[in-house]
Structure 1
Amino acid sequence: MNEMAHSPFVNIRRNLHQIPEIGFKEFKTQRYILDYLASLPQERLEIKTWKTGIFAKVKGRTGSRTIGYRTDMDGLPIEEQTGLAFGSTHEGMMHACGHDIHMSIALGVLTHFVQNEIDNDLLFIFQPAEEGPGGAAPMMASEEMQQWRPDEIYALHIAPEYPAGTIATKEGLLFANTSELFIDLKGKGGHAAFPHETRDMVVAAAHLITQLQTVVSRNTDPLDSAVVTIGKLTGGTVQNIIAEHARLEGTIRTLSAEAMAKAKHRIEKLIEGIEVGFECIADIDYGCNYYQVNNDPSIARRFIDFMNQKENIELVVCKEAMTGEDFGYMLKEIPGLMFWLGVGSDYGLHHAKLNPDERAIQVGIETMTSYFHSLA
């Protein structure tokens, strides 16, 4: 990484890494990017803001087609433990999913095309709230997107498990459908010595957790894939009071939109049974929902063929993953592609010690600039 210490885009990444912000509160991040864009030649550059996001259009010679490139902007509510000299200055916040890397690559590609004109227009989309509550769907519906809607669209996501610079993608489904899951159970609390006068929500929650395990094992096609995980359970106050309230928090992930709908239907039926069996009231909230990332087959083949011709690129045709990404809402309406970019970290995504290899930044920039030149 030493040879890249003076790269402006590594420096940009380090600056952005210090100011992670949660979804739709990326005020410093937006200001930083706008200030950088203002430093570039403006003759072919047009900028619009949307909430805390940014649309930046680089005009081409003919503008007969518009190619989109999306990057995400937000961080995560994680206390950083990397020990880096440029660590987060925002307490309890970290770019633990690599969006600082994503933004620096996007700015590198944008800068190249401000300085090197091609036929196509390029639309760079700096999207807020990817981690939640979800910025892609409302951004797609925005007036700005309707005015500048691209003909095809691209994005990348860092992959700690691959060596720096490796590119991995595939035709068709790449990321799963995902949904958050929050269930609140309300019964009747009381003294532990008089359980018959109460409706114990810890017991109800325990039964529900067990029943939820059947959604995959007994209600999902064995040839399909789904995950239902309860990651957090809270309930009660002290050891000798029966709990009046319990809360379950988890996630649902499926490889098809149909399997997601079926999983949610079955979960709702199980909850109805808990309400009857334990004489309680239940509320369910699905929180953030992300649509599957589905790469356009013809675009994926073109991208893979191009990368296979580059001697300095190691391309992996990978399997689909149960990770979620709201870029899927953009691919639902616009043909395009997402790929993994290896960053060779010992710690994975959303980990407090994630430390991507910054050499991947230049690989990402060179990959997308050469590919976009090939589309001209």
Structure 2
Amino acid sequence: MSFELPADHIDEAVSWRRHLHENPELGFQEVKTSEFVARKLNEWGYDVVGGYGKTGLVGTLRKGTSSQTIGIRADMDALPISEATELPYSSRTPGVMHACGHDGHVASALAAARALASVEFNGIVKFVFQPAEENEGGARAMVGDGLFRDHPMSAIFGMHNWPALPVGSLVARSDQMMAAFGTFAIIVKGRGAHGAMPHEGADPVVASSQLVTALQTIASRNISPLQSAVVSVTQIHGGDAWNVIPERVVLSGTTRWFDDEIGICIEKRLKHVATSVAEGLGCEAEINYQVRYPATINDPTQASVVREAASRLTTLSIVDALPSMAAEDFAFMLQDQPGCYFWLGAARSGGENPGLHSSRYDFNDAILPQAAQMWVALAQSILR
């Protein structure tokens, strides 16, 4: 069972992708993107319902007599990055670009929706177009607005293009795919002084410098080497003059883990280390720690279903890979429904291959038909 997209449909889907790339929208602001998606789905006979997570929507197509239902999710939002590709279809919105390939995810899901409208299956397919995957938890918002209450599903599936893997490869692990993540901001408060008279103050710059190093002991000395954990300080802000020791310095960063107990340990130790180091150097630490996304853990049965569907496609090969310490808010959907999140290889050959979130990144259109074909194969495989 293998459905081939007509060449003109592929060309049109690429044109949709590039239109979306030219017109990126940030999380919870995907108004025009959502309208574009709804128009296309309506053309092909889908029942479209919006209002989930502000700009999210669901397109439903029923065929045959079965009530079995699957969900196919595509994220729609862009990133606050200034594009540096100089492509003819580069972003027209200053400071905003599709640097993660969500334009390609939307276009390939639309291509699959169009194809499924003209092929046979027995059951219900729901295409879930989700806002705000990047940091803002659009999946959580959609679930909170009643996504699965209003649209019961037996399973839901998500896909991400993966530039670190060659085109034609697919990874669908039976367990961990993406890490949980948290954010922190530590305000180190000291006592300002003249830079030439540091003994008269309490230097938050020195305290912050030692704190950056001390935080690295959490992963190396408090977490088992057999577990995965990351603590990264990504921002340091403080001071305004060459000769002035400031009153405060702000450190910000991110944490990553898979196991819930590891996440609890990281938060507890981060707060204790920050407080202790600051106090030991005559300063204070004010800590704002937030757990943002849970880990993305696949249901093993649904992962097997994905691999089985992929094995029927001559364009794809199933490969194994380690999970990623990056995070993905599809995790909120997997906490509520069984499902599987998989990667499609998207590496560019013969030149530069910018990674996700790079200002030079552009979705590899070569995998668009593969992604659409995979969605069709998955739907037909489950809804026989």
Bin of the TM-score, shorter chain as denominator length: over 0.9
| 1:274-313 map, 5 Å | 274-287=277-290, 289-313=292-316
* Contact kept in structure 2, 1:231 and 1:249, CA below 8 Å: yes
2:153 corresponding residue in structure 1: 150
Q: Do the aligned residues in 1 keep the contact of 2:71 with 2:125 (CA within 8 Å)?
A: yes
Q: Per-residue deviation at 1:63? A: 4.7
Give the Å deviation of 1:283.
2.7
Deviation at 1:28, TM superposition (A): 2.2
Instruction: From 26, 31, 48, give the equivalent of 1:27.
Output: 31
- Offset at 1:22? 1.6
Moved more, 154-163 or 59-68: 59-68
Mapped partners of 2:157, 2:8: distance in 1? 26
Q: Which residue of 2 aligns with 1:354?
A: 361
| C-alpha contact (below 8 Å) 1:344/1:356 kept by paired residues | no
Does the alignment pair 1:217 with 2:220? yes
CA-to-partner distance for each residue in 1:39-85, whole Å, 9 max, x for gaps? Answer: 333xx523223201112222232352220111111111111111211
Q: CA deviation at 1:29?
A: 1.6
Displacement over 4 Å in runs of 4+:
3-6
Change (3 A) 1:73 1:169: same
Distance in 2 (CA, whole Å) between partners of 1:331 and 1:146 is 14
Match of 2:370 in 1: 363
Q: 1:333 aligns with which of 331, 336, 340?
A: 336
Is the 1:156–1:339 Cα contact (8 Å) retained in structure 2?
yes
1:288 CA displacement: 6.2
Which amino acid in structure 2 is aligned with residue 9 of structure 1?
A
Q: Does 1:181 align with 2:178?
A: no
Does the C-alpha gap of structure 1 residues 178 and 98 become closer, same or farther in structure 2, counting only changes over 3 Å?
same
Given the alignment of the two structures, is residue 8 of structure 1 paired with residue 12 of structure 2, yes or no?
Answer: yes
Unaligned segments of structure 1, at least 5 residues: none
Aligned to 1:134: 137
Q: CA RMSD in A?
A: 1.9
1:114 Cα deviation from its structure 2 partner = 2.8
Q: Secondary structure at the match of 2:355?
A: coil
In the aligned structure 1, how far is the partner of 2:290 from the partner of 2:141? Answer: 15
Q: Which amino acid aligns with 1:167?
A: L
Q: Equivalent residue for 1:48? A: 50
TM-score by length of 1: 0.93
Distance in 2 (alpha carbons) for counterparts of 1:146 and 1:165:
36
188 and 67 in structure 1: CA distance in 2 versus 1, 3 angstrom threshold: same
Q: Give the equivalent residue in structure 1 for 2:207.
A: 204
Please state how far the C-alpha of 1:270 moved relative to its aligned partner: 0.8
Please give the secondary structure, in 2, of the residue aligned with 1:271. Answer: helix
The separation in 1 between residues aligned to 2:286 and 2:33, in whole angstroms, is: 36
Decide whether the 8 Å contact of 1:46 with 1:58 is kept in 2: no
Work out the CA distance in 2 between the residues paired with 1:257 and 1:290: 11
Alignment of 1:256-275 (within 5 A): 256-275=259-278
Q: Given the superposition, is the C-alpha separation of residues 299 and 279 from structure 1 closer, same or farther in structure 2, using an over 3 Å criterion? A: same
Cα deviation, residue 189, structure 1 = 1.9
Tell me how many residue pairs correspond in the alignment. 372
Residue number in structure 1 paired with 2:70: 67
Partners of 1:361 and 1:248 in 2: how far apart? 40
Shift in alpha-carbon separation, 1:138–1:300, aligned structure 2, 3 A: same
Runs of 5+ unmatched residues, structure 2: 1-6
Shift of 1:287: 4.7
Q: Judge conservation of contact 2:237–2:249 (CA < 8 Å) in 1.
A: yes
Q: Secondary structure at the match of 1:49?
A: strand
| 248-257 or 29-38, which deviates more | 29-38
SS in 2 for 1:59: strand
- Amino acid of the residue matched to residue 26 of structure 2? I
- For 2:230 and 2:244, how far apart are their aligned partners in 1? 34
Q: TM-score, normalised by structure 2?
A: 0.91
Letter in 2 for 1:48: G
1:263 to 1:107, Cα distance in 2 relative to 1, 3 A: same
1:164 touches 1:357 (CA, 8 Å); kept in 2? no
% same residue: 34
2:22 paired with 1:18: yes
Q: Which moved more, 1:46-55 or 1:73-82?
A: 46-55
SS state at 2:274 partner:
helix
Matches within 5 A, 1:232-271: 232-271=235-274
Instruction: Give the counterpart letter for 2:122 in structure 1.
Output: D
Structure 2 CA distance for aligned equivalents of residues 140 and 241 of structure 1: 50
